[in-house]
Amino acid sequence: MSSSSPIPPNTSSLPLRAFKDCNKQTRKDGFIFGGCALFLSGFFSHRVLRLSRNNTILATLSATVISSYMFAQQSTRQCLQAKMEAMERARKLGTYSEEGGDEALLSDEDVMEKNHA
């Protein structure tokens, strides 16, 4: 069985800032999704399936960890793919340079901070 990497191919040209932004976003998404998975799997294990206390805890934690991990992997792939597409669009428009390459990949919050500074 082959394991798939969360990093899509051809992302080696992305600046480190893009990976940092995606990692931050992925952690936030995984945490939120994990909280939802924890609540829902606990509710269904206890109320719907009527599992014992120990089985409910085991099923809830297992479902939460597995679903959060899978969601975070997919979120990382999508974020890096979006950053790659943004970089390619900026290159085609001529607004991307290797020295200032991070400018095309800044988040909206970063742009607002930079404009107000």
pLDDT in tens, 19-72: 999 999 999 999 999 999 999 999 999 999 999 999 999 999 999 999 999 999
In a domain, 105, yes or no: no
Domain assignment present for 58: yes
Please check whether residue 31 lies inside any domain of the structure.
yes
Domain count along the chain: 1
Is residue 114 predicted with pLDDT exceeding 70? no
68 is a domain residue: yes
Give domain status of residue 56, yes or no.
yes
- Cβ contacts of 10 within 8 Å, gap of 6 or more: 84
The answer to whether residue 113 sits within a structural domain is no
Whether 30 is in a domain gets the answer yes
Cβ–Cβ under 8 Å, residues 72 and 26: yes
In a domain, 109, yes or no: no
Model confidence, pTM: 0.70
Only one residue has tokens 């085991």, namely 58
Residue 61, domain extent: 16-81
